[in-house]
Structure formats: structure tokens, C-alpha cells
Copies of this chain bind each other. A is one copy, B any other.
């Protein structure tokens, strides 16, 4: 565009801390938004919003999650290390305010479920709580913990054990209609957006036209 402007490395360094935090959290684009459910050995449940889940592989089915052990989700991190299990629950328009509130720094003995009006749900004997009000829910087992040397952040790799889905969102080819399920997306730390479908496209091959896939 004609009116682009540049923010270079030095300008980023000189920024006020909160300004930089907002900018850098926005800069990757829209993010997935999940509520991560855990409990500790005493059974005290914990819930935290997570926008750093990333696909690692389909076979075995793996998801990664970036977590800063010293910041807000430290109870989440400690619980996962302690029990080896966690859940990821999609956030919808109905529950994004509760999801946002669950990021507040509650005491360890307080459950974010109680504080935000969400309901802990125990399904299929899984060793971590799901969010009853969520639509798409995944149960994961911790399989690898990775230290990111540059800034002391961790990536936890979870293997998907159970998936809970509503009817009518799973296509025969495995595609999940997240828009129909009501899953929303977040920009930065605090800006919630719903989605509108544009198009699903066929597998790309050199010198072959793309086709629309109905969904």
C-alpha cells in the first residue's frame, strides 16, 4: 500500500512495555482461543484462556501449547506437570466474557470455573475437566516438554486422546465446520471476533486450477 509505515527493531525496543505487548501479541494474525482445563492432585480445578495452541502433527495427533511458567497460567502449567493431562475447549460467542475473566490472577485454592460461572464436566473417565458450555472439546495427554532457551518459555506437546463434538459439524472427509460450531477467534490479548466463511479450496497442485469445496 502507498501509506505503509515501518516500525523497526529500535522503535520496538523503545516502546512502552504495554504498547509493545499489545502490538506483538496482535502481529501474528488471528489466533485460536481455547479454555485449558486442569486439576491438581487434590482435585482443585483450574481454567485458563490459551491463544497459543499450534498444530504439531496428525499421526500421532499432536497439539503444542506455549506457556510461560512464571505468568498467569502457572497453575495450569503446574497442574499439567503434576497430573500429565489437560483439556482444550473451544470458546464461542456465549462464553468469551467468562473465558476472558478466567485469566484473572485468582488464588490457587479458587477455581476459575466457580469464579466465571462455567461448569466443569467429566467425560469418559478423562483425567482433567472439560468445559460443559464449550462446543468442541479435546482431552490431551502430556507427551513432551520443550524449553525455549531464548526467553525461558515452554512448549508443552499433548497427544489427543478424546475429542467431543456436536452433531452436524464434522464432514465425511474429516473437515470440521468451526464457523457452524460457533468457535470464535481472538486478536491480540483481548479482541474477540466471530467468523464468516469465504471459501474452502481443493488441494493445490502445480498448473491446476483450484476448485471450491462446498461446506
* Chain A contacts to B: CB under 8 angstroms: 1, 3-9, 12, 15-34, 51-64, 66, 68, 88, 90, 93, 96-97, 100-106, 110, 115, 123-124, 135-136, 138, 143-144, 146, 148-151, 153, 155, 157, 159-167, 170-179, 183-185, 187-188, 190-206, 208, 210, 213, 215
Minimum distance in angstroms from A195 CB to a CB of chain B: 4
10 cross-chain CB contacts under 8 A: A6-B163, A7-B162, A7-B165, A12-B160, A18-B174, A20-B58, A24-B58, A28-B54, A28-B55, A179-B187
A172 to B3, CA, bound (A): 18
Minimum distance in angstroms from A187 CB to a CB of chain B: 5
Q: Assess whether A201 is in contact with B190, with CB atoms less than 8 Å apart.
A: yes
Given contacts A17-B59, A30-B30, A34-B29, whether A215 and B191 have CB atoms under 8 Å apart is yes
Residues of B within 8 A of A52 (CB): 54-55
Task: Report, nearest first, the 7 A-B pairs whose CB atoms are least far apart.
Answer: A29-B32, A22-B174, A19-B174, A26-B176, A30-B185, A24-B58, A23-B174
Q: Pick the contact of A174 from B15, B32, B96, B106 — CB < 8 Å?
A: B15
Residues of B within 8 A of A104 (CB): 204-206, 208
Given contacts A18-B173, A138-B27, whether A164 and B55 have CB atoms under 8 Å apart is no
Q: Assess whether B193 is in contact with A9, with CB atoms less than 8 Å apart.
A: no
Q: Assess whether B3 is in contact with A28, with CB atoms less than 8 Å apart.
A: no
Q: Assess whether A148 is in contact with B6, with CB atoms less than 8 Å apart.
A: no
Residues of B within 8 A of A1 (CB): 135, 166
A75 to B153, CA, bound (A): 28
Q: Which of A61, A90, A135 has the most CB of B within 10 A?
A: A61
A96 to B61, CA, bound (A): 27
Q: Assess whether B197 is in contact with A191, with CB atoms less than 8 Å apart.
A: yes
Q: Assess whether A162 is in contact with B5, with CB atoms less than 8 Å apart.
A: no
Residues of B within 8 A of A190 (CB): 175, 200-203, 213
